[in-house]
Every structure is written in C-alpha cells, then in structure tokens.
Amino acid sequence: MLELKNILFRTPESDAGAQSPAGRTIIHDLSFTFESGGFYAITGPNGSGKTTLAKLIMGINELTSGKIIFNGSDISNLPIHERSMAGIVYGFQHPARFKGTTFRDLLSVATGSDDEEKLVEIISRVGICSLDFLDKPVDSKLSGGEIKKIELATVIARNPKVAIYDEPDTGIDLWTIGPMVELLRREQKENKTTTIVVSHNKSFLEAADTLLLIRDGKIAYSGNLAGAVPILEDLSVCTFNELCQGEANAQCYR
C-alpha cells in the first residue's frame, strides 16, 4: 500500500524560470492511497502536476511537506536509490539518452544479469522482435517510440512492486498501444505490481480500475471512468483554432 498524506510541493526559488514564478505551489495538500496490486491511471490537463506527483513518489522531487508511506514505512526522506531498492520504479515521460550505452547495457543493469536468454525474454515481452535491437545505442538517433519501449522494458525488467509509467504511449504506434495496455495489465495481475500509468490515452483510462483526475495540483476526481466523464468534458478549455479572447476563454491565460 502506498499512501500519500497531505503532500505538497512548492518549486524551489532557484528552479523557477520566467514561466513559473518563484515558490509556486504545484501539488496542493494531496492525499491518496494506492492499494497494493491495483491498476491506476492518472490523467489531467497539461501542466496540472502529474509528472511532478510521479517524481515526488519516486523521490526525484523533494516534498515541501506531507508524508509518503510505503507498506507501513515512512519513505518521505529516502533518496531515489533506496526507494528503487524498496521496489518503486519510475519510467520517465522523457527518458534520458546515453551516448555510448546500448539497450543491452541498460537491461543488464535493470535485471542484474547479462544472460542473453533473460534479456531476450524481456524484450519480447515489450513487443521488440529483433535481437539486433539489443545492441542499439540509446542515443539521440533512436526514434521517439523506440526510446519509450526501451524505458518500458527497463521498468518491467526490475520486477517492481510499484511501477509508475509516465505517458508510456507517447510516440507509440497504433499497433502497439493495445498490446502495451495488455502487457501492463498482465504484469499487474501476474506479478501483483501496483501499476500507476500517467496517460491521456483512452485505452489506459479504460483499462484502469481507478482513475485519478489531477487538476491544478489537486485530485479533482478519483473513481471509475464512467464517473469521470462529466468532469473530463467540463475540463475542455480552449482550442487551437479559437483566439483566446473574452470572458469564456479567460481561463486559457491562467
């Protein structure tokens, strides 16, 4: 069980750029309990705080206040590697690329083994069919979808207790989304992985047992998808083909 208790994140003054005034609160006094083995989707408008929330759970962002309790232990002050050793793994929205490192290197670190059979078994689970892929450099030449598949594989390879995937479907082709949802469902069921997927994709929202809707750093809704529909419709703010003018579109400039 992963409990978020009144967590709050305010940007450190030194990190704030022109777009984000110093000391801005991104996550506001948010509380939620992820039950062990559940499948959760987190959605919400761009900039609402989903990635920030995921990074708080992983320890990449430091809490300003509040507590995170994992299986009864307070992990609020644990560094990233200790949370990782405790079984919490995060797949980045924008995975890092490493010049001079291959996919095989990353997978070997994730599994703690360079046994080729084991690595092949993992890449086949994430829908990569070619063995040649193992020796691809994880550098800027990888396509957007390829780097996301690699990130997904390195999360799964760790056999996490809690897996947080930040928009795993970004750049993923039409033919891979369905199998990706099935894969995460299977990992959740067979390995009892608490699965948290940040996504805007309907396939993930439909697959989840519980949907969390984040708006302005708060939980605007948690429950099933059907209950979220009226709120999701209400959240459609402004469109690209309308000039943001007048009272109706004032919220575009918030």
Ligand X SMILES: Nc1ncnc2c1ncn2[C@@H]1O[C@H](COP(=O)(O)OP(=O)(O)OP(=O)(O)O)[C@@H](O)[C@H]1O
**One character per residue 89-128, x = contact with ligand X (rule: CB under 6 A):** ----x-----------------------------------
Phi, then psi, of 42 in degrees rounded to 5: -115, 125
Choices 13-21, 33-41, 66-74, 119-127 (CB under 6 A): range interacting with ligand X: 13-21
How far apart are CB 221 and ligand X at their closest, in Å?
15
- Spatial separation of the C-alpha atoms in residues 105 and 100, rounded to whole Å: 10
Contacts of residues 111-118 at CB distance under 8 Å and 24 or more positions apart, as own/partner, are 111/157, 111/158
Question: Which of 13, 15, 29, 135 is close enough to bind ligand X by CB under 6 A?
Answer: 15
Structure tokens at 220: 């605007």
Contact present, 134 and 170 (Cβ < 8 Å): no
How far apart are CB 32 and Mg ion at their closest, in Å?
17
Looking at residues 34 to 73 of the shown chain, list those that interact with ligand X (rule: CB under 6 A): 44, 46-52
Handedness of CA 42, 43, 46, 49 (dihedral sign): negative
Nearer to ligand X, 20 or 33 (CB): 20
| Residue 25 binds ligand X (CB under 6 A) | no
- Spatial separation of the C-alpha atoms in residues 11 and 52, rounded to whole Å: 10
Helix (H, G, I), strand (E, B) or coil at 69: strand
Structure tokens at 70: 């994992």
Nearer to ligand X, 48 or 188 (CB): 48
How far apart are CB 92 and ligand X at their closest, in Å?
11
How far apart are CB 173 and ligand X at their closest, in Å?
20
Question: Which of 2, 4, 11, 40 is close enough to bind ligand X by CB under 6 A?
Answer: 11
How far apart are CB 232 and ligand X at their closest, in Å?
14
* Size of the residue set binding ligand X (CB under 6 A): 14
How far apart are CB 237 and ligand X at their closest, in Å?
13
- Spatial separation of the C-alpha atoms in residues 94 and 30, rounded to whole Å: 24
Residues whose CB is less than 8 angstroms from the CB of residue 225 and which lie 6 or more positions away in sequence, other chains included? 205, 206, 208, 211
Residues of the shown chain interacting with ligand X in the complex, contacts defined by CB under 6 A: 11, 15-16, 20, 26, 44, 46-52, 93
